[in-house]
Amino acid sequence: MTWTVSSLAWTMLIGIVSVLVVAFIGKAWRVRRYMRMLQKRGLPMPPHNILFGHLGLVASIQRSLPSDAHGHYLADQIRQRYPELEPTFYLDLWPASDPILVATDPDVIAQFCAPDHLLPKHPGVKRFMYPITGGYDLNCLEGETWKFWRKLFNPGFSAGHMQTLVPTIVDEVCIFRDDLSRRVREGKMFSFEDHALSLAIDVIGRVALDTKLNIQGQPNPWISALLNQRRWAAFGLEMGIGMLINPMRYFHIWNNRRIMDKYINRDLDKRYTTSQKRTTSKTIIDLALNAYRSEDAVAGNDRGELDAVFRKYALSQMKVFIFAGHDATSTTICYSWLLLSRNPEAMAKIRAEHDAVLGLDHNKAAAVLSENPALLNRLPYTLAVIKETLRLFPVVSSPRGGLGSFTLTDSKGQLFPTEGCLVWAVHHGLHHNPLWWPRVDEFLPERFLPDQDRPEELRPLKNAWRPFEIGPRACIGTELAMTELKIVLAMTARAFDLAEAFSEWDQVHKPKGVKTVDGERAYQTQLGSAHPVDGFPVRLAAH
């Protein structure tokens, strides 16, 4: 009997494995044949191998890059290897990914991000966001549910509302500037990114939760859990199968979520019970609670406490704002400082603009801005520096899911089917393509000056600058990010001189393997979005 049961179990196991192997080979065959069919139609792709697709090419690119380089470098690395390849092309990385349609052509990207022609988010977005938000957040939602929440939160990010937030942001930047002054006195190498991250978290804490998180003062358990959660987030197989199925990954995701939810639930409940009335506040938490109270008012309900469905969505939304609200902004603070430190002429121009608009005493910039927030609109060179930083170091890209009925057309009239594809608007590839950008690798803020102050040959092409994406799913936090970045530069550019300290960092940490991307040591690494590698080590002096 024992023999019979065990042989039955073995037979079933072998049967299941055989079915899986046959399904795997069948799918591989279909994907490779599909790619060959597209290739025969003349659609662009790098040389395709019938057995391995483009896995060999990508493996060879990966070997030439640092092991922790961000995935968005891939598109531009392929362009460099195949300069005659069109800016929209297919990549076959199955089983690591669905077939990919890489888009670095502004007009092609505009076709699937446009209001009347919008592809849905790729399922990888939800997979990626799941550990961080649970997946019921603005970034992951679709259709009517997405529209409802987007409309609800839009007033919290309007340009007018941003002006009212300037004094609050200035308060937080004062702490940032004082911490940097302390670093100057210490005279040691330190991670600039740690300070930028803490600042951006404190700012979004005030804007979203109306709470002074004070991360710049001391660690906070729920924010530590959120930051730790980024390590476990995966779009696809990029962290390797071993790590994906590692039980410890699931334990960390569960535990971090437990810690985050406890804190945010407490805030939600406190806010809801202390004030049962609608408020005029435009913080994210109040906008969400107001909507809930309105539902009650219309239905004549008195639910006493928040219901489970609302709580699930509200929690997810608070987390996406705290996460997205600090992540890309802090990276941009780092890279704007890096680029200014490498370009003394640009640094001199931005300082001159601040002297002219905010007064000669940089210590008074905080008071001047708090009193007159509209002065931020009179800093065109500062704005141009930020835009050029986001061109050279974009932080996020836009992955969409292809549809059977949905075809893209390039300038030659070639039709690109999208069914079953990850349709990937790669902002890094778009911003680094010499087809769209003259003197593509140079830091030239002048590109983004108003028409009368800009050399005509540097005029940016329509739709080619899209670090926040364009269209209905564009970043809701654009105004906040731009306001915050301008304030940071206005309050710090004249106070400090920064020197990147990667050589010193390397001497201490002795990293192994390749440590540059196209000669750039301060390359971007994946941690949530694209972050400066090694925490951006610097030395700072008073200016």
Phi, then psi, of 531 in degrees rounded to 5: -115, 155
- The label of the residue with tokens 């007018």 reads 160
Cβ-closest residue to ligand HEM? 477
| Contacts to ligand HEM from residues 82-141, by CB under 6 A | 138-139
CA end-to-end distance (rounded Å), the chain = 85
Q: Does 524 bind ligand HEM (CB under 6 A)?
A: no
The least distance separating ligand HEM from the CB of residue 395, rounded to whole angstroms, comes to: 4
Pairwise CA distance, residues 31 & 153, whole Å: 41
Nearer to ligand HEM, 215 or 328 (CB): 328
Structure token digits, residue 516 = 């540059």
Q: Does 469 bind ligand HEM (CB under 6 A)?
A: yes
Size (the chain), residues? 543
Q: Does 320 bind ligand HEM (CB under 6 A)?
A: yes
Q: Does 444 bind ligand HEM (CB under 6 A)?
A: no
How many residues sit in the footprint of ligand HEM (CB under 6 A)? 23
Nearer to ligand HEM, 88 or 332 (CB): 332
Q: Does 192 bind ligand HEM (CB under 6 A)?
A: no
Q: Are 225 and 259 in contact (CB under 8 A)?
A: yes
Task: Say which amino acid occupies 8.
Answer: L
Q: Could you tell me which stretch among 86-94, 307-315, 444-452, 475-483 binds ligand HEM (CB under 6 A)? A: 475-483
Q: Does 480 bind ligand HEM (CB under 6 A)?
A: yes
Q: Does 328 bind ligand HEM (CB under 6 A)?
A: yes
Pairwise CA distance, residues 422 & 425, whole Å: 10
Pairing of strands 398-401, 117-118: unpaired
Q: Are 92 and 45 in contact (CB under 8 A)?
A: yes
Q: Are 204 and 318 in contact (CB under 8 A)?
A: no
Q: Could you tell me which stretch among 21-29, 89-97, 325-333, 517-525 binds ligand HEM (CB under 6 A)? A: 325-333
Pairwise CA distance, residues 274 & 293, whole Å: 13
Q: Does 398 bind ligand HEM (CB under 6 A)?
A: yes
Q: Could you tell me which stretch among 103-111, 326-334, 377-385, 489-497 binds ligand HEM (CB under 6 A)? A: 326-334
Strands in 496-500's sheet, in edge-to-edge order, are 190-191, 537-542, 496-500
Structure token digits, residue 34 = 């599909």
Q: Does 346 bind ligand HEM (CB under 6 A)?
A: no
Q: Does 477 bind ligand HEM (CB under 6 A)?
A: yes
Q: Does 417 bind ligand HEM (CB under 6 A)?
A: no
Using CB under 6 A, pick the residue from 234, 475, 533, 538 that binds ligand HEM: 475
Give whole-number Cα distances, 219 to 214, 225, 387, in Å: 8, 11, 31
Pairwise CA distance, residues 490 & 492, whole Å: 6
Using CB under 6 A, pick the residue from 94, 263, 468, 496 that binds ligand HEM: 468
Q: Are 537 and 490 in contact (CB under 8 A)?
A: no
Spatial CB neighbours of 19, under 8 Å, sequence gap ≥ 6: none
The least distance separating ligand HEM from the CB of residue 7, rounded to whole angstroms, comes to: 52
Q: Does 169 bind ligand HEM (CB under 6 A)?
A: no
Using CB under 6 A, pick the residue from 71, 124, 236, 325 that binds ligand HEM: 325
Q: Does 334 bind ligand HEM (CB under 6 A)?
A: no
Nearer to ligand HEM, 66 or 205 (CB): 205
Q: Does 488 bind ligand HEM (CB under 6 A)?
A: no
Q: Does 465 bind ligand HEM (CB under 6 A)?
A: no
SS3 517: strand
Q: Is 334 annotated as contributing to ligand binding?
A: no
Pairwise CA distance, residues 220 & 462, whole Å: 43
Structure token digits, residue 292 = 């809930």
3-state secondary structure 87-115: CEEEECCCCCCCCEEEECCHHHHHHHHEC
The least distance separating ligand HEM from the CB of residue 406, rounded to whole angstroms, comes to: 16
Q: Which of 443, 429, 441, 445 is nearest to 519 (CA)?
A: 441
- The label of the residue with tokens 């391995």 reads 52
Q: Does 473 bind ligand HEM (CB under 6 A)?
A: yes
Sign, CA dihedral 528-240-426-532, equals positive
Q: Does 316 bind ligand HEM (CB under 6 A)?
A: no
Using CB under 6 A, pick the residue from 45, 226, 395, 422 that binds ligand HEM: 395
Q: Could you tell me which stretch among 51-59, 213-221, 440-448, 473-481 binds ligand HEM (CB under 6 A)? A: 473-481
Q: Does 329 bind ligand HEM (CB under 6 A)?
A: yes
Q: Could you tell me which stretch among 103-111, 358-366, 391-399, 432-440 binds ligand HEM (CB under 6 A)? A: 391-399
The least distance separating ligand HEM from the CB of residue 503, rounded to whole angstroms, comes to: 28
Pairwise CA distance, residues 524 & 249, whole Å: 24
Nearer to ligand HEM, 180 or 333 (CB): 333
| Contacts to ligand HEM from residues 226-285, by CB under 6 A | none
Q: Are 389 and 34 in contact (CB under 8 A)?
A: no
Q: Does 77 bind ligand HEM (CB under 6 A)?
A: no
Interacting residue ranges for ligand HEM, rule: CB under 6 A: 138-139, 150, 204, 320-321, 324-325, 328-329, 332, 395-396, 398, 467-469, 473, 475-477, 480-481
- Binding-site residues for heme sit at 475
- Binding-site residues sit at 475
